[in-house]
Amino acid sequence: MKLRIAILGTRGVPNYYGGFEHISEYVSEGLVKRGHSVTVYNSHNHPYKEDIWNGVEIQHCFDPEYLVGTTGQFIYDFNCLMDARKRKFDVILMMGYTSSSVWGKLYPPKSTIITNMDGLEWKRSKYSKNVQQFLKYAEKLAVKYSQYYISDSLVIKSYLGDKYNIESKYIPYGADLFSMEEREQVDNSKALKEDYFLLMARMEPENNIETILDGFNNSNSDRKFKVLGDTGNRFGKFITNKFKNDSRIEFKGSIFDTGKVRSLQNNSYLYFHGHSVGGTNPSLLEAMASEALIAAHNNPFNKSVLNTDAFYFSNAADVRSLVETVQRKENEKNMVDNNLHKIKYQFNWEKIIDQYEDFILDCHHNSTHEQII
């Protein structure tokens, strides 16, 4: 059965931004290859201006975020929904709910509504108490106005089951294996193989960047520590200033060249993953796929992905201990291999697109069956 599917809730494809854009890119293209008609809604500010991308139809909608700040996201989502109401989509796939669920009453009534429920956004420490309260409310509205739900983490799946008594389908993010071409691009003289620590994250408190760098700063390591991420925001400026006297710490800014990032991950001595909120994190999967040895913040999200195939830290003292004691021996090689096996067989994009297709078909079949009854 071939369906007309729309993907809303992101800034658009191809991905220039992050999580939901990343998965929307793979899922939209994959569903087209499987014979479905797919439309992705793009912000009019998105760098890609064409109407077709790899067989995916692009619908550009006015997005005033650049004019009015965060409020603009709500207007953009409203514009996308009003357009989607005019088109006869079989299925609407909502990516997240932060600024769209307030318009729940406007969701196209004849379309099957599936929402990917995002990663407990209200827990993010970057948000004020008022914003956190609003996000809890938005989550509630998303549950109310959607018919079916996707969780990208088993932790979120069980949270939604406990809190709202709803069944959501667990479908994680994916990653591509580190290819031979990427391997050949690695300039070993430049990379200084396995001679540096690495972290890659948005400069936000909940990513534990300060904890990681405090631990390293207090260590006696003579290795470098490379930090990837845009340091232009307030927290980024605070972090760069705090550690400016440690010449071992190098702030590299954002690097958008995926091959370069993956080479850096592949060549690192130990990759630190500090994310503590959200679902299955794409940068963690990329690090696993890039065959990095990983030290992760000790929380259920990370543990549900990595299990025993990583080192864990909870504070700066743990980080210091890891920096000073981790060896690269047989056991560590097994950890890397086990994570690679997970990417091949669990977090593989083709498999994940198949899961999306199966779930979308089931949901649409069930909802049209209910309408007939």
Instruction: Please check whether residue 9 is in contact with residue 51, taking contact to mean a CB–CB distance below 8 angstroms.
Output: no
In sequence order, the 6+-apart residues with CB closer than 8 A to the CB of 343 are 174, 175, 177, 285, 288, 289
Q: The CATH number of 180-345 is which of 3.30.70.260, 3.30.450.40, 1.20.210.10, 3.40.50.2000?
A: 3.40.50.2000
Q: Which two tokens stand for residue 94?
A: 């909502």
Least confident range from 114-128, 230-244, 286-300: namely 114-128
Q: What is the DSSP string of 312-342?
A: EESSHHHHHHHHHH---SHHHHHHHHHHHHH
DSSP conformation class of 348 = B
Q: Where are the beta strands (DSSP E) in the chain?
A: 4-8, 37-43, 52-53, 56-61, 91-95, 112-116, 148-151, 169-170, 196-200, 224-228, 249-253, 270-273, 294-297, 311-313
Q: Say whether 180-345 and 4-174+348-372 share the same fold.
A: yes
Share of the chain above pLDDT 90, in %: 75
Token pair 């003289």 is at which residue? Answer: 189
Residue 65 clears pLDDT 60, i.e. is over it:
yes
Q: What order of strands is seen across the sheet that includes strand 148-151?
A: 52-53, 56-61, 37-43, 4-8, 91-95, 112-116, 148-151, 169-170
Q: Domains of the chain: which residue ranges?
A: 4-174+348-372, 180-345
Judging by beta carbons within 10 Å of its beta carbon (0-12, 13-18, 19+), is residue 121 exposed, middle or buried?
Answer: buried
Q: pTM here? A: 0.86
19-59, pLDDT tens digit by residue?
Answer: 789 899 999 999 999 999 999 999 999 999 999 999 999 99
Closest-CA residue to 273 (of 306, 243, 320, 249)? 306
pLDDT for 276 equals 84
> Cα–Cα distance between 285 and 297 in angstroms, integer?
14
Residue 88 clears pLDDT 80, i.e. is over it:
yes
216-241, pLDDT tens digit by residue?
Answer: 999 999 999 999 999 999 999 999 99
Confidence of residue 292 (pLDDT cuts 50, 70, 90): very high
Q: Is the dihedral of CA 51, 53, 56, 62 positive or negative?
A: negative
Confidence of residue 12 (pLDDT cuts 50, 70, 90): very high
pLDDT for 184 equals 66
CATH (residue range 4-174+348-372): 3.40.50.2000
Residue 95 clears pLDDT 70, i.e. is over it:
yes
Torsion angle of the four alpha carbons 360, 365, 370, 373, in this order, in degrees rounded to the nearest 10: 170
**Average predicted confidence (pLDDT) for the chain:** 91
296-326, pLDDT tens digit by residue?
Answer: 999 988 999 999 999 999 999 999 999 999 9
Looking at per-residue pLDDT, the higher value among 18 and 75 belongs to 75
SS3 164: helix
> Cα–Cα distance between 238 and 337 in angstroms, integer?
37
> Cα–Cα distance between 112 and 82 in angstroms, integer?
16
Cis peptide before 108 (omega within 30 of 0): no
